[in-house]
Structure 1
Amino acid sequence: MTMYCTKWFLIVLLLLPLATVGAQTNLTGYWQPQVAANYKVTGTYSHNFSLASRNYIYDDEALTLRVRQLDLAHFSKLKVRDDQSIAFGIQYRFRNNFEKSRENELRLTQQYNITNKPFAIRYGHRVRTEQRITNSLTTHRFRYRFAVDFPLMGEKLNVGEPYFVGSLENLLSVAKNNSPEYDARLSGQIGWELNRGLKLQMGVEYRMEDYSSSLPQNILFLLTSAQLSL
């Protein structure tokens, strides 16, 4: 079952970007490394801190490597039941430092998450609301994500063994005097638990932004991350 799900996600991830290669004028590629630390305050309350860098690797029909932005974020999460949690987050995006025509952004996030693990596969449903605040505009965004993760060797994840994480997310963005914008995201990553406190992940994410418009934007991410649990 786990190998079937892995193949399904990988096939879809490969086919969707291929459909946009012929229209490279609206295709952008990024490499996004991230480091994150989780700190458990009590058995039900924890903090998460993260720093991510988004870098152009394909833009204006050419290969490149330049920084687009830096994201510094913090989340506070409270477990309300064994399989449910709520979280509140704050993020600051440094973009004007790298692209002078763009504004920096403050983002506030409210989240509800529920998981279910009937067998080796864990299923997750996440609902988020966000307020993206810049000097010129406040955008309200509503997000729903369905995710799966499971070990790739056996039914239990052991130290040093790989695991798979995949997700599908839909987003709605609304702002005053702007038309609603609909986005979709599909991602798949392979991870390794190196020890009881450190995980490494790498994978790809495909985004179709403003897909209801006449010219949706196609975006491909290469993702790498390190997660440390304290």
Structure 2
Amino acid sequence: MTMSSTKWFLLVSFLLFMSSALSQENLTGYWQPQFAVNYQVARGYSHNFSIANRNYIFDAEELTLKARQLDIAHFSKWNIRDNQSIALGVQYRFRNNFEDKENELRLTQQYNITTKPFAIRFGHRIRTEQRITNALTTHRFRYRFALDFPLVGEKLDPGEPYFVGSFENLLSVTKHNAPQYDTRLAGQVGWQLNGSIKFQVGVEYRMEDFSSSMPQNIFLLLTNAQLAL
């Protein structure tokens, strides 16, 4: 199988799986637009700021449009090798402005490694998180496998599309509660508009607490703009 055939096989396989996943019962849908800014502070050291708004679009078997939360996040990243990095992040989630839920402070520690044997780049990411509210602290452990590749040719040029896909497993642990296991599958098509601006659109499917008798099925419509300074 040629590299071009492999890329399109991966993309079609993802679309078929997502079509099957979104037909599940007990489904909640969201639209999540996000804007992020990346900038280089020094050689091998960069910052990322982002703001994201999550809105209900399908809830209780009805179409709707209402806000759920607002997230503001910052990450500091250090490249420890050409293909490896570590990062620290802090995020604040506003919930009680939209629903009768507590706001959340989140701290994140991350390690990431990538390889690119051909036109397809593979990435492995490990994260630990502390999700802090007034009521409790949840410790979460995450592993994500991701890949991305240009949809035209073997090299991404300005104005051309690319695909980003990921699969992630999560374990959440809180005091006096049973562990929660989640899984996520996401795919986005993006465009490198120029040397500093990217735009992506796609979907993400989540099965939350999948070891329970009533797992939650969630999908998100994702729109994402990224600016590199």
Do they fold alike, i.e. is TM over 0.5?
Answer: yes
Task: Find the counterpart in structure 1 of residue 220 from structure 2.
Answer: 221
Deviations 1:109-153 (A, max 9, x none): 000000000000000000000000000010000000000000000
| Mapped partners of 1:154, 1:70: distance in 2 | 38
| Per-residue deviation, 1:11 | 1.4
The alignment partner of 1:28 has SS state of: strand
The alignment partner of 2:17 has SS state of: helix
| Mapped partners of 2:111, 2:18: distance in 1 | 26
Alignment of 1:199-218 (within 5 A): 199-218=198-217
The alignment partner of 1:195 has SS state of: coil
Count, aligned residues: 224
Q: What letter matches 2:86 in structure 1?
A: I
Task: Find the counterpart in structure 2 of residue 30 from structure 1.
Answer: 30
The yes-or-no answer on 1:189 pairing with 2:188 is: yes
| Per-residue deviation, 1:43 | 2.2
The alignment partner of 2:65 has SS state of: strand
| Per-residue deviation, 1:2 | 1.2
| Per-residue deviation, 1:62 | 0.7
| Mapped partners of 1:127, 1:107: distance in 2 | 16
Q: What letter matches 1:48 in structure 2?
A: N
The yes-or-no answer on 1:155 pairing with 2:159 is: no
The yes-or-no answer on 1:9 pairing with 2:14 is: yes
Measured on the aligned residues, the alpha-carbon RMSD in Å equals 0.6
| Mapped partners of 1:123, 1:177: distance in 2 | 37
The yes-or-no answer on 1:86 pairing with 2:86 is: yes
Unaligned runs of 5+ in 2: 1-5
The yes-or-no answer on 1:39 pairing with 2:44 is: no
Q: What letter matches 2:201 in structure 1?
A: M
Q: What letter matches 1:65 in structure 2?
A: L
| Mapped partners of 2:213, 2:159: distance in 1 | 46
Task: Find the counterpart in structure 2 of residue 76 from structure 1.
Answer: 76
The yes-or-no answer on 1:130 pairing with 2:129 is: yes
| Per-residue deviation, 1:42 | 1.5
Task: Find the counterpart in structure 1 of residue 3 from structure 2.
Answer: none
Q: What letter matches 1:81 in structure 2?
A: R
Task: Find the counterpart in structure 2 of residue 54 from structure 1.
Answer: 54
Q: TM-score, normalised by structure 2?
A: 0.97
Q: What letter matches 1:154 in structure 2?
A: G
Q: Segments of 4+ in structure 1 off by > 2 A?
A: none
Task: Find the counterpart in structure 2 of residue 165 from structure 1.
Answer: 164
Deviations 1:2-51 (A, max 9, x none): 11111121211111122x1xx2xx21000000000001111200000000
| Mapped partners of 2:149, 2:66: distance in 1 | 34
Q: What letter matches 1:7 in structure 2?
A: V
Unaligned runs of 5+ in 1: none
Q: What letter matches 1:70 in structure 2?
A: L
| Per-residue deviation, 1:60 | 1.3
Deviations 1:74-111 (A, max 9, x none): 00000000010000000000001110x20000000000
Task: Find the counterpart in structure 2 of residue 176 from structure 1.
Answer: 175
| Mapped partners of 2:63, 2:15: distance in 1 | 24
